[in-house]
């Protein structure tokens, strides 16, 4: 297998604040919404959201524009949620033989690559149907039976599905009359508005699904009540929305109103404010319209071809190569140019070794994005390797990594598109108060555990090893490189930041998982101390690791703790993080732990060897700590300060240190 040659791509670490507050939204019609709309979906002038029309074999998606935090702060349970919406399905004829239905969906992404219509409802395809890697929860309102059968028949049922089209639970569409055990059928394709409620109890792990006609209030007894633990299905950030599809049978699928809430009951919709859906045009009328359009098209076709030829000769057209079709979503350059206001300087939110990062707002749906603009002096060299890495990164899925949304190649530039992270970088939150936000110790501890979990995924748990190579708090964007497991890197250039670079990287120029661990160790100390990797102390520049060890030598390691915390922290946790930071940033590669070991230390599954069982009195005598380090073979009789910083940044002059980050 050919390895990428010195090519850099970008990943975000998504720094999140855990919050137990309720999140909710309500739509009475969608004229003023900024939903993410895909393929056949349109918003009608009345405000009705039409997912598909009666055209055969089309797909429509509509999703709330920002991901929703699904997990509870206090434990690993999925938060309770509730949604209430009104939909309307109008078949292509009066004989109620339309199809194929719609589904409410929770998904890690608002886009479904290579999804198929028909029975797959625009969400899955024949190859990924049923895969646990989908992480999709859905409730389907299906109007056609015959999934994986030789023929299709009329269907009218509601199903709860996990990761595929085989329903865990399914019932004919109906509702229980209040106070009785009797049910009344609800005809999904009646052409009339229908109400649907989906409620998940995150404590009891129960999913309730209820439907009724518009004239019937929410029944007391749900149609289905199933025990389903979603903690193994959904990811921390999920998109909520709808998907619909047609096949050889077709219907118009509408959403008229929608409310959603985390940790509470979804708001009731005011039925007087629900938009009206005009009657579908008859097939004869449609036929006349089509004939008129065809006649007009025949007249204009020649003019259109001439205009197209003129555009080709008058403008430089960007040509798509065949291999580009296999990569994730390709954005139009003009779309990204408009989103970033022409890559205006005021929209720049970061600068890396391979280009600048810009904030943007997509004109098509109002979604916020971050665009990394990578400069390339040789547009031909390595494009296939770039494509291979983009395709791989598009499949990375972890709750502490922001997903790659797409890309664009324009002239000599490669543009990578990610979700925009509104909370900014860890650097900005450590050293300045943003919007009144101050990082408490518990938030800092949660962040470093989240980063460790993400690094473990990149190093060991994905199908390839991913090395991000520039681990620092100010990096919203993190450089990455892909290798096969068990193979070494062939990097010849050093990429990193003074104070974070592992000593061996300056000698060999080869990045590895161990150099990532070194940078992570510096980051741990930075989070505890509230200081950058270069500390200005007593009219001199001091490496952060040296400064922490000096505090040790003076007799109290807690002098190094960020004063902004005002002593409001867990002593044992601070001691653990500082000890782990020193161990990870050890100059000897063989002494550093792996990220799997780091995660075990942070979760309390194993005890950190350097600092286990020390008292919590607040004073850490240097002779006690030094003796433990000597006993473990981590240091020699030379000074501790000399040990912990040998060449983190190579042989640097004071002027080079003054350049900081």
* 236-266 pLDDT tens trace: 899 999 999 999 889 999 999 999 999 999 9
- Residue range(s) occupied by CATH 2.60.120.200 in the chain: 25-268
Does the CA dihedral 208-209-214-220 come out positive or negative?
Answer: negative
Least confident window among 144-148, 385-389, 486-490: 486-490
- Cβ proximity of 138 and 161 under 8 Å: yes
* pLDDT band at residue 410 under the 50/70/90 scheme: confident
What is the structure's pLDDT at 238? 95
What distances in angstroms separate CA 168 from CA 104, 162, 246, 474, 523, one per listed residue?
15, 7, 23, 45, 45
pLDDT > 90 in the chain, percent = 41
Question: For residue 230, what pLDDT is reported?
Answer: 95
Tell me the pairing of strands 49-52 and 477-483: unpaired
* Residue where the block lists tokens 């008292």: 615
Residue range 494-500: mean pLDDT, rounded: 60
Pick the CATH number of 320-419 from 3.40.980.10, 3.40.50.720, 3.30.530.20, 3.30.200.20: 3.30.200.20
Q: Show the tokens assigned to 293.
A: 């359009």
Kind and range of the H or E run holding 401 = strand 401-402
Q: Please check whether residue 344 is in contact with residue 381, taking contact to mean a CB–CB distance below 8 angstroms.
A: no
Cβ-contact 60, 245 below 8 angstroms:
yes
Contact 518, 502 (CB under 8 A): yes
- At residue 336, what are phi and psi to the nearest 5 degrees? -70, -35
Give the pLDDT of residue 146.
76
Q: Is 470 among the catalytic positions?
A: yes
Q: Which two three-digit tokens encode residue 628?
A: 């433990």
Question: Measured between alpha carbons, how far is 187 from 74 in angstroms, rounded to an integer?
Answer: 42
Q: pLDDT band for 328, please (50, 70, 90 cuts).
A: low
The predicted structure's pLDDT at residue 372:
85
- Calpha distance 484→522 (Å, rounded): 27
Token look-up 């071809």 returns 305
* Residue 46 exposed, middle or buried by CB count within 10 Å (0-12, 13-18, 19+): middle
Residue 130: what pLDDT? 93
The pTM assigned to this predicted structure is: 0.48
Report yes or no: 118 and 126 within 8 Å, Cβ to Cβ: no
Q: CA 496 to CA 505: how far, in whole Å? A: 9
CATH code for residues 25-268: 2.60.120.200
Structure confidence at residue 417 (pLDDT) = 86
CATH class of residue range 426-658: mainly alpha
Give residue 141's pLDDT band: very low, low, confident or very high (50, 70, 90): very high
Q: How confident is the model at residue 304 (pLDDT cuts 50, 70, 90)?
A: confident
Of residues 377 and 602, more confidence is placed in 602
Annotated binding-site residue? 554: no
Whether 485 shows a pLDDT value over 80: the answer reads no
Q: What b/e string do you get for 314-349 counting C-beta neighbours within 10 Å, with b at 16 or more?
A: eeeeeeeeeeeeebbebbeeeebbebbeebeeebeb
pLDDT of the residue at 657: 25
- Taking 60 as the threshold, does the pLDDT of residue 650 lie above it? no
Instruction: Please say if the pLDDT value at position 6 is more than 50.
Output: no
Give strand pairing partners of 374.
355, 414
Separation of alpha carbons 57 and 62, rounded Å: 17
- Looking at per-residue pLDDT, the higher value among 107 and 558 belongs to 107
Beta bridge partner(s), residue 49 = 43, 255
Catalytic site residue from 129, 142, 470, 479: 470
Average pLDDT over residues 104-123: 93
Structure tokens at 252: 């118009």
CA 192 to chain centre: 37
Tokens of 52: 């598909």
pLDDT at 380 over 80: no
Where are the domain boundaries for CATH 1.10.510.10 in the chain? 426-658
- CB < 8 Å & 24+ apart, contacts of 224-229: 224/158, 224/160, 224/169, 224/171, 226/160, 226/168, 226/169, 228/160, 228/162, 228/168, 229/205
Lowest mean pLDDT among 16-30, 50-64, 341-355, 614-628: 614-628
CB atoms within 10 A of CB 593: 21
Q: According to CATH, where is 3.30.200.20 located in the chain?
A: 320-419
* Spatial separation of the C-alpha atoms in residues 578 and 557, rounded to whole Å: 9
């Amino acid at each position: 297998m050919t390895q990428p040659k010195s090519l850099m791509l970008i990943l975000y670490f998504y720094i999140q604040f855990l919050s137990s507050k309720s999140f909710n939204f309500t739509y009475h019609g969608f004229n003023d919404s900024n939903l993410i709309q895909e393929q056949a979906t349109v918003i009608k002038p009345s405000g009705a959201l039409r997912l598909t029309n009666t055209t055969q074999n089309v797909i429509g998606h509509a999703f709330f524009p920002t991901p929703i935090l699904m997990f509870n702060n206090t434990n690993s349970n999925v938060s309770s949620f509730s949604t209430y919406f009104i939909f309307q399905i109008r078949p292509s004829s009066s004989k109620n033989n339309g199809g194929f239905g719609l589904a409410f969906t929770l998904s890690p992404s608002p886009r479904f690559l290579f999804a198929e219509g028909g029975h797959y409802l625009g969400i899955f395809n024949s190859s990924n149907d049923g895969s646990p890697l989908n992480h999709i929860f859905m409730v389907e309102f299906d109007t056609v039976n015959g999934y994986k059968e030789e023929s299709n028949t009329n269907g009218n049922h509601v199903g709860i599905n996990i990761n595929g089209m085989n329903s865990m639970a399914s019932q004919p569409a109906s509702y229980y009359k209040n106070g009785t055990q009797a049910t009344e059928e609800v005809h999904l394709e009646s052409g009339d508005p229908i109400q649907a409620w989906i409620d998940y109890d995150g404590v009891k792990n129960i999913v309730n699904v209820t439907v009724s006609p518009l004239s019937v209030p929410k029944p007391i007894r749900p149609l289905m009540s199933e025990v389903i633990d979603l903690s193994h299905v959904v990811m921390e950030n999920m998109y909520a929305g709808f998907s619909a599809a047609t096949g050889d049978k077709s219907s118009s699928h509408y959403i008229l109103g929608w409310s959603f809430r985390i940790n509470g009951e979804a708001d009731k919709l005011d039925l007087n404010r629900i938009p009206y859906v005009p009657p579908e045009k008859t097939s004869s009328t449609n036929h006349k319209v089509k004939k008129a359009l065809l006649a007009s098209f025949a007249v204009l076709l020649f003019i259109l071809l001439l205009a197209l030829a003129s555009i080709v000769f008058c403008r430089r057209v960007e040509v798509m190569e065949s291999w580009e079709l296999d990569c994730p979503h390709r954005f139009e350059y003009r779309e990204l140019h408009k989103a970033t206001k022409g890559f205006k300087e005021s929209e720049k939110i970061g600068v890396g070794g391979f280009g600048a990062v810009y904030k943007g707002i997509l004109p098509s749906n109002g979604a916020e994005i971050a665009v990394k603009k990578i400069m390339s002096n040789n547009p031909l060299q390595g494009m296939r390797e770039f494509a291979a890495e983009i395709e791989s990164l598009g499949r990375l899925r972890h709750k502490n990594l922001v997903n790659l949304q797409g890309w664009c190649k324009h002239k000599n530039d490669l543009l990578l598109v990610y979700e925009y992270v509104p909370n900014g970088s860890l650097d900005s939150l450590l050293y300045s108060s943003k919007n009144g936000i101050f990082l408490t110790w518990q938030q800092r501890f949660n962040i470093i555990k989240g980063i460790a979990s993400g690094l473990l995924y990149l190093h060991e748990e994905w199908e390839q090893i991913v090395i991000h190579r520039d681990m620092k708090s100010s990096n919203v964007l993190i450089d990455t490189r892909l290798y096969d497991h068990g193979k070494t890197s062939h990097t010849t250039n050093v990429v990193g930041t003074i104070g974070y670079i592992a000593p061996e990287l300056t000698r060999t120029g080869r990045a590895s998982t161990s150099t990532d661990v070194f940078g992570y160790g510096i980051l741990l100390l930075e989070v505890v101390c509230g200081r950058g990797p270069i500390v200005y102390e007593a009219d001199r520049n001091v490496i952060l690791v040296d400064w922490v060890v000096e505090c040790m030598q003076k007799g109290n390691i807690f002098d190094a703790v960020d004063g902004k915390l005002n002593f409001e922290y867990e002593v044992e946790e601070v001691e653990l993080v500082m000890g782990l930071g020193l161990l990870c940033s050890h100059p000897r590669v063989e002494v550093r732990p792996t990220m799997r070991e780091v995660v075990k230390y942070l979760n309390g599954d194993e005890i950190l060897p350097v600092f286990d069982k020390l008292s919590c009195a607040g004073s850490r005598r240097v002779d006690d700590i030094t003796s433990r380090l000597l006993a473990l073979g981590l240091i020699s009789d030379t000074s501790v300060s000399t040990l912990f910083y040998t060449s983190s940044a190579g042989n640097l002059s004071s002027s080079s240190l003054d350049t900081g980050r």
